[in-house]
């Protein structure tokens, strides 16, 4: 049964990713913000749900953070909290369920040397600071380091603390940059 669920989930993810490759503007911060604005009073709840579930599709949080800031410029701190909650939930899911959707097999087949190197770093005494640095750098996926931290048996509390410390400044910049972009777009 689990094998079938994984296959169905993989097909759904593949279809969504194909749609995004064909039509990448669907994931732009403007299109997400426009969708949220069209939802009216349910927009904030939809934004919360999208932020908390985006990691199931291994989607980056950046477009969602910027879209939330553009759509809700009056609540930048709420967008910051929701965005960080989404990062934590995503880190938890990737750490706790690495085989969901067969992502573990895909990553091991595609990047065996990188996974081995990351796993070695996760077992080093500076693993916490490595995760902080990785999370702070905007061009690498945080989900990858969370996945490897899970297979390297880094403590969940240590991982989530490191991810929060690393992501907080980055997400804060995105939120307040998004608010400014939103204000500029409304003029």
Q: Which residues contact 2 (CB under 8 A, 6 or more apart)?
A: none
pLDDT 10s digits, 9-62: 556 656 766 776 787 776 666 776 677 677 777 888 888 988 888 877 767 888
At 97, list the tokens: 């369920």
pLDDT 10s digits, 151-186: 888 899 999 999 999 999 999 999 988 888 777 765
CA nearest to 134, candidates 153, 114, 151: 114
């Amino acid at each position: 049964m689990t094998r079938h669920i994984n296959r169905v989930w993989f097909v759904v993810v593949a279809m969504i990713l194909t749609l995004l490759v064909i039509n990448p503007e669907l994931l732009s911060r403007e299109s997400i913000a426009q969708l949220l604005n069209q939802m009216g009073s349910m927009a904030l709840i939809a934004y919360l749900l999208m932020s908390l579930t985006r990691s199931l599709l291994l989607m980056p949080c950046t477009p969602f953070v910027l879209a939330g800031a553009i759509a809700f410029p009056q609540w930048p701190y709420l967008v910051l909290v929701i965005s960080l909650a989404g990062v934590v939930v995503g880190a938890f899911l990737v750490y706790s369920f690495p085989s969901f959707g067969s992502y573990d097999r895909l990553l091991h087949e595609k990047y065996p040397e990188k996974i081995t190197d990351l796993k070695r770093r996760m077992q080093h005494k500076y693993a916490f600071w490595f995760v902080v640095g990785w999370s702070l750098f905007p061009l690498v996926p945080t989900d990858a380091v969370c996945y490897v931290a899970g297979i390297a048996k880094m403590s969940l509390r240590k991982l989530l603390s490191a991810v929060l410390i690393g992501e907080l400044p980055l997400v804060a910049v995105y939120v307040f940059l998004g608010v400014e972009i939103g204000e500029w777009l409304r003029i």
